Amino acid sequence: MDNTSALKLEIINLSNSLSLVRTPDFTSIPNLKRLILEGCTSLYEVHPSLGHHKKLQYVNLLNCISVSTLPSSLEMDSLEVCSLDGCLKLKKFPNIVGNMNKLMVLRLDETSITELSSSTCHLIGLGLLSMNSCKNLTRIPKSIGCLKLLKKLDLSGCSGLKYILENLGEIQSLEEFDLSGTSIKQLPASISLLKNLKVLSLDGCQRIVVLPSLSGLCSLEVLSLRACHLKEGALPKRIDCLSSLMSLDLSGNDFVRLSIGIFKLSRLEMLVLEDCRMLESLLEVPSKVQTVNLNGCIRLKEIPDPINLSSSKRSEFLCLNCWELRKHNDQDNMGFTMLERYLQGLSNPRPGFGIVVPGNEIPCWFNHQKKGSSISVEVHSWSMGFVACVAFSASGEKPSLFCHFKANGRENYPSPMGISCNSIQVLSDHLWLFYLSFDYLKELKEWQHESFSNMELSFHSSERVKVKNCGVFLLYSLHTPPPSQFDGMQYDIPIIRGTYTSNTFTHLSTAPALRGTISDDKELERVMTIRSRLLEAIEESGLSVIIFARDCASLTWCFDELVKMVRFMDEMRPDTVFPVSYDIKQSMIDFLTWSYTIVFDEDEENFRNEVKVKRWMNILTGVKSDEKSRPESLKR
């Protein structure tokens, strides 16, 4: 290269030049701005002139594994980015001469540097200092407190680092601080002065016994304390002072129960307790939480009831391998009860909710079921969303499972709902349940349909994860008028009954001849616990069977439903309502005697409204049980 060409040269890119062993003299290239020698694994000699180049802005020696020394000093007025990560043999970083105030990024990851020079204080413009996995690093100079613009300090994997200087709090601009995998025993009290800190990671810091007060960290959004083996009392008592905290990861610790302060974190959206093998109870979650990860909490016995997860965004509750939780709760209904708690808020429609629990049977109230990994259902215009249930086995795998949609048999859309677990091996069958609103689907940028009549769900899994069967249950809008034609009815028969008849008449809702019947003791309580939705379910039914028993009047809501049925009968056809007397004479109903008068007289709280009571009495008087009009199946 002649002198004229060298004077004009601004970029040298010799990446992955495996034969390059030394650099040229940079004094002959005064206008050089970018030097890229990434992956030059044979390079071992860097010319000293590099350290005094006045125009260089970018130096990249990434993975130059043979470089052991650099110029003894750096005085590079224009340098903005210096990447020396992966220079495994580099033991010392040069002294800084003068104010290199333009240097913003310094990467020294995976080098053999044992300490930084105190001259680091001259890097007054530094915004990022990364020394990830510098295992020989033993100390950080006190002068680091002079880096007033430093926003990110990464010391993760520096296993030889045992102490952090007390003047850490002087770096007022610090936003991200990662000490994961270090050997520190305690954090300096001055950490509470970092009012701009947003992310603090202490994963794997197993020598820490107690954390200092974090009350000054008013901007902290993410706190990660994975695998620190912390016990009760290790967290600050006033952890609820972290008013901006949105994500808290306490995975792999030894808590038996959590600090009460955690439940008061008003902005927390993600709570991760994965593999907390000593945790026995979680009786509450913060009000704004969207995700609770309890995977691998093998001793967990209690969870919140009800589960008050965030109503405005998609939420999930993950309980992979929580076997004790299943043992100490109704093992067949646990997941469905949790889903029910979520659906109770559907008067203000929510976008979606998912839950994973041990189990293998899809309940019968999922009226669309199919073996295998896909299912197709007809969708009515008044549908507001659906609940899906997937039974799967993982055979010791870390499961990954996702749902895709087809609308009207055409486009295939990825669902926002899915399971992705990178750290827990699933050893038994599990159920994945989720609810998704159609309004949320229509907001996806890929979605092309204002309306659709058919929906196909297909479930895609990682290798060795097998989807055994799946089911779907459609939910209907509380604000949409029910269809007027019988062939559009959502349920064949709603059954009103009290506790006295519950065992005797259970077969009505399960008999093949009456398949589609909805009963209000279990299935209805799980799926439609809101009374307004129950009354709409009556309107959406084709027939009504009213079973009168001795305890019928003990349940005040029975009368409200009865009024609804008879009013609907008047509007439609009288032969759509079938009254049945069970273990009680019809005359007791006609003349309002026996247990009914007792309830009316004694229960002042529920029956003080005379107008309502009179309406109930009129309805009871008007409903006659005619043996001739009963279906043969009911006479039995």
Comparing 143 with 593, which gets the higher pLDDT?
Answer: 143
- Asked if 180 and 203 touch (Cβ cutoff 8 Å), the reply is yes
- Give, as one character, the DSSP assignment of residue 11: E
pLDDT on residue 30: 94
Q: What percent of the chain has pLDDT over 90?
A: 45
Instruction: Say whether pLDDT at 532 is over 80.
Output: no
Please provide residue 168's backbone torsions phi and psi, each rounded to the nearest 5 degrees.
-55, -35
Please provide residue 368's backbone torsions phi and psi, each rounded to the nearest 5 degrees.
-120, 115
Q: Calculate the alpha carbon distances from 620 to 496, 558, 612, 615 in Å.
A: 14, 11, 12, 9
SS3 394: coil
pLDDT on residue 465: 86
CA distance between the termini of the chain: 105
pLDDT on residue 621: 60
Q: State both tokens at 64.
A: 């130059």
Comparing 501 with 162, which gets the higher pLDDT?
Answer: 162
**Strands 454-461 and 466-476, bridge-based pairing:** unpaired
- Asked if 340 and 529 touch (Cβ cutoff 8 Å), the reply is yes
Comparing 366 with 326, which gets the higher pLDDT?
Answer: 366
Instruction: Say whether pLDDT at 614 is over 60.
Output: yes
Instruction: Say whether pLDDT at 499 is over 80.
Output: no
pLDDT on residue 626: 44
Comparing 444 with 513, which gets the higher pLDDT?
Answer: 444
Comparing 227 with 550, which gets the higher pLDDT?
Answer: 227
Q: Please, what's the b/e burial string for 128-158 (b: 16 or more CB within 10 A of its CB; e: otherwise)?
A: bbbbbbbbebeebeebbbbbeebbbbbbbbb
- Spans of all domains in the chain: 290-477, 486-635
**Strands 454-461 and 400-407, bridge-based pairing:** antiparallel
pLDDT digits (tens, 9 = 90+) for 153-171: 999 999 999 999 889 999 9
Please provide residue 634's backbone torsions phi and psi, each rounded to the nearest 5 degrees.
-85, -30
pLDDT on residue 253: 97
SS3 602: helix
- Asked if 527 and 365 touch (Cβ cutoff 8 Å), the reply is yes
Average pLDDT score over residue span 456-480: 80
Shortest CA distance to 116 belongs to which of 158, 174, 81?
158
Q: Predicted confidence band at 11 (pLDDT cuts at 50, 70, 90)? A: very high
pLDDT digits (tens, 9 = 90+) for 168-211: 999 999 999 999 999 999 999 999 999 999 999 999 999 999 99
pLDDT digits (tens, 9 = 90+) for 203-250: 999 999 999 999 999 999 999 999 999 999 999 988 999 999 999 999
pLDDT on residue 151: 98
Q: Return the amino acid letter for 178.
A: D
CATH code for 486-635?
A: 3.40.50.10140
pLDDT digits (tens, 9 = 90+) for 390-410: 999 887 777 788 888 887 777
